[in-house]
Amino acid sequence: MDKVPISRQLIYQYRTAYSACSTDLESTAQKATNMKRQKQEREVADKQQQHSEQRKADMTQEQKEAEQLIAEASDRLAKATMSKNKAELLAAQALLHTGNTKLMEAQKAQEQLESVPPPKKN
């Protein structure tokens, strides 16, 4: 085994190498942390996007159901008017009112969803 004389230059080189290694390790750890944070942010944004799309689909379905209810109520109202059946007429009116209310609520919810800006993607 050879003995290496300890000199100022050797100590300086050791400290420089240690500092460079330490800086590189910190940089690598920082990059890993940033990548993990960005991945989590993307996952949250994707979940929000999926939730928003699901809500839009639900609102569209509710609107279709309300329109079907209104159509059924209109048919029943026309039949009740022709047959002059007051009980059926009142039931058809209530059904029509319910359908209109449901449609207006679904449209308001749809407008609120559309007014919310989509999340940013990095």
Distance of CA 98 to the CA centre of its chain: 30
Banded model confidence at residue 118, pLDDT cuts 50, 70, 90 = low
The one-character DSSP state at 117 is P
CB 76 within 8 A of CB 91: yes
pLDDT, tens only, 57-116: 888 888 899 899 889 988 988 888 888 888 888 888 888 899 899 989 888 888 887 776
- Residue 2: CB atoms within 10 A of its CB come to 3
What is the mean predicted confidence (pLDDT) over 21-42?
A: 96
CB 93 within 8 A of CB 77: yes
Alpha helices in the chain (DSSP H): 8-83, 86-115
Amino acid 13: pLDDT: 92
